[in-house]
Amino acid sequence: MAKILIIAEHCDGIVNPSTAKCVACAAEITDASIDVAVFAENGETVVGEVAAMGSVDKVIQVNNNTNTRALAAVIAPQVVALADGYSHIFGPSTTFGKDLMPRVAALMDVNQLSDIMEVLGSHRFKRPIYAGNAVVTVEAPQDKPVIATVRIASYKAVPSDGSAKIESASPDAEIPGHTRFVEVLSGESDRPDLQTASLVVSGGRALSSEEDFNIIYELADTIGAGAGASRAAVDAGYAPNEMQVGQTGKIIAPDLYIAIGISGAIQHLTGIKDAGTIVAINKDPEAPIFEVADIGLVGDLFDMVPELTAALS
Partner 1 sequence: MEKILVGLKRVVDYNVRVRVRSDGNGIETDGVKMSINPFDEIALEEALRIKERGEASEVIVVSIGSADAQQQLRTGLAMGADRAILVNSDTAPDPLTTAKTLLALIEKEGIDLVILGKQAIDEDNNQTGQMLAAIWGRPQATFASEIEFSGESARVTREVDAGLEVIEVDMPAVVTCDLRLNEPRYVKLPDIMKAKKKPLDEIAMADLDVQPESTVSAISFEPPAEREKGVMLDDVAGLVVALKDKGLL
Q: Shortest distance, CB of residue 136 to partner 1, whole angstroms?
A: 5
CA distance 157 to 46: 16
CA angle 87, 91, 94 (to 5 degrees): 160
**Phi, psi angle pair for 228, to nearest 5°:** -130, 180
Q: Shortest distance, CB of residue 249 to partner 1, whole angstroms?
A: 9
Residue 191 binding result from partner 1, ligand FAD, none, given CB thresholds of 5 to 8 Å by partner type: none
Residue 261 binding result from ligand FAD, partner 1, none, given CB thresholds of 5 to 8 Å by partner type: ligand FAD
Helix (H, G, I), strand (E, B) or coil at 125: strand
Residue 296 binding result from partner 1, ligand FAD, none, given CB thresholds of 5 to 8 Å by partner type: partner 1
Q: Shortest distance, CB of residue 303 to ligand FAD, whole angstroms?
A: 8
- Burial label for 40, CB within 10 Å (0-12, 13-18, 19+), is buried
Torsion of CA 190, 13, 86, 78, to 10 degrees: 120
Which residues lie near ligand FAD (CB under 6 A)?
A: 204-206, 230-233, 244-249, 261-263, 265, 267-268, 271, 282-284, 287, 300-302
CA distance 274 to 254: 8
Strand pairing report for 10-11 and 14-15: antiparallel
Q: Shortest distance, CB of residue 185 to partner 1, whole angstroms?
A: 4
- How distant, in Å, are the alpha carbons of 39, 61, 113, 166 from that of 169? 10, 6, 27, 10
Q: Shortest distance, CB of residue 118 to ligand FAD, whole angstroms?
A: 22
Nearer to ligand FAD, 24 or 301 (CB): 301
Q: Shortest distance, CB of residue 74 to ligand FAD, whole angstroms?
A: 28
Nearer to ligand FAD, 88 or 268 (CB): 268
Nearer to partner 1, 47 or 278 (CB): 278
CA distance 137 to 148: 14
Nearer to ligand FAD, 66 or 267 (CB): 267
Residue 81 binding result from partner 1, ligand FAD, none, given CB thresholds of 5 to 8 Å by partner type: none
Residue 235 binding result from partner 1, ligand FAD, none, given CB thresholds of 5 to 8 Å by partner type: partner 1
